[in-house]
Structure 1
């Protein structure tokens, strides 16, 4: 190896560079020990991208981490004072006056310590690899908070945090880190009352639907941790956040939300009035009175009602229940396109994305009569997430992050084959590019280790293993409800439980699912639900 290697001045009179490839991005404290460097300048550059020559770091406006050491002594033992996230590390030594000895390069992990309680494998090796890729991505992006990507801004984003918490539930079962994140988000509202998109920061960086997502995030956290104290402490912040959206909703009798509110109010909003999903051009209009935006508000209302009832906030609950009743009817009637038999993205019926219909399902706004039509629409619409049917060069109709919500709706509609197909195509494409971790988008040009894209790990564990806690946050009863396509002929793994893990193994035999075992910690009751 390189330890003890001598870089002779005669061989490298102008200096030398070392390029190290860590295979995938890591968050570490680099430590460098050298001798023979008195008077030398040492630069360390960090990134996850190289130029096409595979020799030079591709540093961009959001990949700028570098360190420079000016050596006054012959021997140095330097430990970076702050963690660095990188796949590629380039060490360049200039102006050395003698032979340089590389005594050691060491990398000390700066990641959050997790226990690998969850596991998953099945008859489909690709789905198994997708699960493992998501778990690795999640582990990589955990430090003192959930961060979007350790190689770039390392920000705690609202939507990202919620997705990451769920992936963690399947892989590690940790709650302490999410508790800290929620504590921080309780302090995050800006001057309007909305939760900031990323926190800590003192700016006005808010994204409207991310702020709504956070309310559902509080419910998710409570239902999995039982930490009602956190909800109680942050209740005022939750209500102030909701008040902003209720004020916007009150501008119409039907309470539907305008995706272009920022234009009417003369406000410069990050990502516009409604962020939604970054789909291919023309697939989902974000203009006007908007279905997905309104459904996201309705989901937040339903979440806040559940939390309010736990806290005994009857007056707030009463007002929100009134809104839920009106909104459910408004969404059901005004966005429904009877000719296409699906939900429109806006009242102008400009587009009919899968998102509109799935968000309506998640919001509980779809009637029994509409449901079979929605199911057929989604099964057809999501046959391919790539526009051209085979790769992302012509665009995608959903991004890896928003698939977290789409997967939820697809499974609720009883379409496991659709969910598995999306995973094979989208995340299989990532694996086919040689990626070890989930990319931010279906592209190689952005972050290649972005935890908001790891949702398949959660949904595979929850559905193919079938582990559910029907009385959450009380976990004394576990239900096994498998939702897998006929293409998956066996599966086994473990799902984290407060007392250990729920271990499941099953296989198909003569068209029937046979459980080889379902093991649970002592005192836990297991029920099998067909």
Structure 2
């Protein structure tokens, strides 16, 4: 499918930051026809078809590798109009390098023939389309939104007549949402054309756009299913009147974070305003806030400046409000989002510097009468408030809704057991993945929308428990190779803000081969092999030496673990060991010699073994001669870590503490601890974990990224820590940690998984959802091993103290699931699985082909 995309803008010279351009494209069809819209733009666009929302974008891309989205629709004969609003950021954000990529808009409409092959899809099951079982056939086809079209199929482009104009109502505010996002939308709606998206709007006075030629790479189709935009009808949970300052026509002047006028309004709840504000007897009212700015007393009659309403979206979501309101001309309407309520109300900024959400609001001035208010750019949050400056008696809400931007929605996988809390934790993990899914799997939808390599492994592990479509992960791993540094290292976060993280670059190698083990996609391994070679070369002269070079990039092991410590350097070496081991298997899979990596693997393995042996010898010496244990000279945290005089002390067990929790857990999970030392290592790990919050309520919390020390655990690192415990018969301990620590998150009222065990951070981070992955993998007992062949699974059951469980495991790139259930009886465990297609089941050293019902007794 060879389409030459044309790029348009209002003029070659127009490139002012924070401006909005409206495009209208008219075309006609002679008969009812299947068409495809090929869409690309910068830096953010929203497009409608015949007055109805079509999509938004672009999908994030580096300047060298743009990708156009393909939307497929069946249209009736007659005239049709595309209407797009395109926002020129003019600056770098977390998703695009807007200071390098000039603004443009591109939209082709192509007729397709009727024999385009539709991918197997059951919307009742998954809400997603997915690839066929033979994923290696992908490279011979063009993947589109919901379709797989042969590269040679017949189609032709439709002529579109384009017009454009600058939307003068969008006033450059001079204020960004945050340092990672673009500008606040500050809109005087009376200055924008009325009903300009409708088919019969007269655009004869608008300009014809000019063709522009941005210096971009050759655009390719976006290899994802169509991003979903479900609409949620909203009902407010609280309302009332308000008093306080609004900016009206002037642009904001907010020199400090708390200068935002939103923070200085007094919100008075309905129960205190009887007879003065519109009554909603069926609305739910929140408890009175303790915030001094929320006045529960009735204000003087002349101090009422407007009304407010609050909404709970149920969980954190990425999207935008669509409100239709009848109100007077000149009314001010502001919407604000928050992940949580602060003193009972929405405060639209976060608490973690330097990337806090400082201005998570949208500002409108009404033209008057019945009018729909909706921003162009989606935002993230769970709670939404609207503040309106107008006479309360003249404000009438007509429609309140929220349109979400999400990739994963309805899971086809499932899990349940006899423990209701464990079930809630599993579902919260799936919700968190959905929350963090759009054109990429992001760290969270509110604070960053960042694509971090370190999130890949836990995120795809969660995805395989609920969904068959794994394309977002393939795209992310491939996209990392487009932003490679000069020395060959792949970035740890990209595109937009691109940065070096040594640990994440090593995890990229592991994640690539892990994708192969989950899908069997060997062509993917061939495509990225050279990049993997160059990436590992950057570490050869670093991690095989005594000193770790910090200048190569951030050594992020875990929050609370300083990159300057001996423990971080040791943990990084185990990531290197694991990357080399995966690279050896990668070579074997492609029929290439792994000799080079085997040599390096032996060297790094020897370094790690010597560290462990040296530690054990010291411990044995201490036990033998009675000398007190010596401090590790390489682990010097004095002056950098807060003192904890009230914390419980960890008894040194075989001197493991000198190596650190992160090193020991990684060594255990990678089978690097000698069998005679495993029990003491496991005992140390368990004692360490139990000494940290929330297990130890007196322990210091991770209040912010600057807090460092050796008494912290995080949800993220449990992804690496818990498999070693599970495989060494510690599933009871792991399940109890899920109940205690992840249960603590849910007990705080969250419906998605928090970034860390502290509520100052993000309340939706998919890297924290590994319990969902491990409950499905180990408690249901099936682990994909597609590196051995298509539909190959390893049977590995760890039930812990659970009495029964059941669930469904999706088959990758097939909308089919394997149903599993088991229960404990007096005679052991009765286990059965039911598969709709043949699978190859690996049980210990045996392989059995299974189709239909299979029962096992243990």
Tell me the TM-score normalized by structure 2. Answer: 0.55
The residue that corresponds to 1:165 in the other structure is 460
Measured against aligned partners, the alpha-carbon deviations of 1:64-113 in whole angstroms (never above 9, x if no partner) come to 32211122343322332222211111111125697122111111221104
The structure whose RCO (Cα within 8 Å, separation 6+) is larger is 1
- The Cα of 1:481 is off from its aligned counterpart by 2.2
Could you say what secondary structure the match of 1:209 adopts?
Answer: helix
2:419, 2:802 within 8 Å by CA — same for their partners in 1?
A: yes
Larger Rg: 2
The residue that corresponds to 1:366 in the other structure is 673
Paired residue for 1:128, among 397, 416, 423?
A: 423
Paired residue for 2:596, among 309, 312, 319?
A: 319
Paired residue for 2:819, among 488, 494, 503?
A: 503
2:331, 2:366 within 8 Å by CA — same for their partners in 1?
A: yes
1:289, 1:138 → 2: CA distance? 28
1:511, 1:435 → 2: CA distance? 40
Q: 1:90 to 1:473 in 2, by over 3 A?
A: farther
1:289, 1:127 → 2: CA distance? 32
1:171, 1:495 within 8 Å by CA — same for their partners in 2?
A: yes
CA-atom RMSD in angstroms: 3.0
- The Cα of 1:231 is off from its aligned counterpart by 2.5
The residue that corresponds to 1:348 in the other structure is 634
Q: 1:345 to 1:294 in 2, by over 3 A?
A: farther
The residue that corresponds to 2:41 in the other structure is none
The residue that corresponds to 2:220 in the other structure is none
Q: 1:384 to 1:427 in 2, by over 3 A?
A: farther
1:292, 1:345 within 8 Å by CA — same for their partners in 2?
A: no
1:36, 1:97 within 8 Å by CA — same for their partners in 2?
A: no
2:693 is equivalent to residue 403 of structure 1: no
Q: 1:393 to 1:214 in 2, by over 3 A?
A: same
1:440, 1:447 within 8 Å by CA — same for their partners in 2?
A: yes
2:312 is equivalent to residue 14 of structure 1: no
Higher-strand-fraction structure: 2
Paired residue for 2:566, among 267, 284, 287?
A: 287
The residue that corresponds to 1:414 in the other structure is 729
Q: Give structure 2 stretches of 5+ with no counterpart.
A: 1-234, 241-275, 279-300, 621-629, 637-657, 703-710, 845-857
The residue that corresponds to 2:743 in the other structure is 428
Measured against aligned partners, the alpha-carbon deviations of 1:464-510 in whole angstroms (never above 9, x if no partner) come to 1111234546343434321121x211111111124511211111112
The residue that corresponds to 2:57 in the other structure is none
2:481, 2:303 → 1: CA distance? 55
The residue that corresponds to 1:493 in the other structure is 807
- The Cα of 1:288 is off from its aligned counterpart by 7.5
1:497, 1:329 → 2: CA distance? 39
- The Cα of 1:447 is off from its aligned counterpart by 0.7
- The Cα of 1:364 is off from its aligned counterpart by 4.1
1:423, 1:456 within 8 Å by CA — same for their partners in 2?
A: yes
The residue that corresponds to 1:297 in the other structure is 576
Report matched runs for 1:52-201 at 5 Å. 52=343, 54-60=344-350, 62-63=356-357, 64-95=359-390, 99-201=394-496
Tell me the TM-score normalized by structure 1. Answer: 0.87
2:561, 2:568 within 8 Å by CA — same for their partners in 1?
A: no
Higher-helix-fraction structure: 1
1:2, 1:423 → 2: CA distance? 33
- The Cα of 1:13 is off from its aligned counterpart by 5.1
1:82, 1:507 → 2: CA distance? 49
1:385, 1:426 within 8 Å by CA — same for their partners in 2?
A: no
2:552 is equivalent to residue 236 of structure 1: no
Measured against aligned partners, the alpha-carbon deviations of 1:290-324 in whole angstroms (never above 9, x if no partner) come to 3211111111111122222323442xx22111010
- The Cα of 1:349 is off from its aligned counterpart by 6.3
Report matched runs for 1:451-530 at 5 Å. 451-472=766-787, 474-485=789-800, 487-498=801-812, 499=814, 500-510=816-826, 512-515=828-831, 517-526=832-841
Paired residue for 1:333, among 610, 614, 619?
A: 610
Could you say what secondary structure the match of 1:521 adopts?
Answer: strand
Q: 1:340 to 1:433 in 2, by over 3 A?
A: farther
Q: 1:35 to 1:241 in 2, by over 3 A?
A: same
Measured against aligned partners, the alpha-carbon deviations of 1:206-232 in whole angstroms (never above 9, x if no partner) come to 221111111101011111122222222
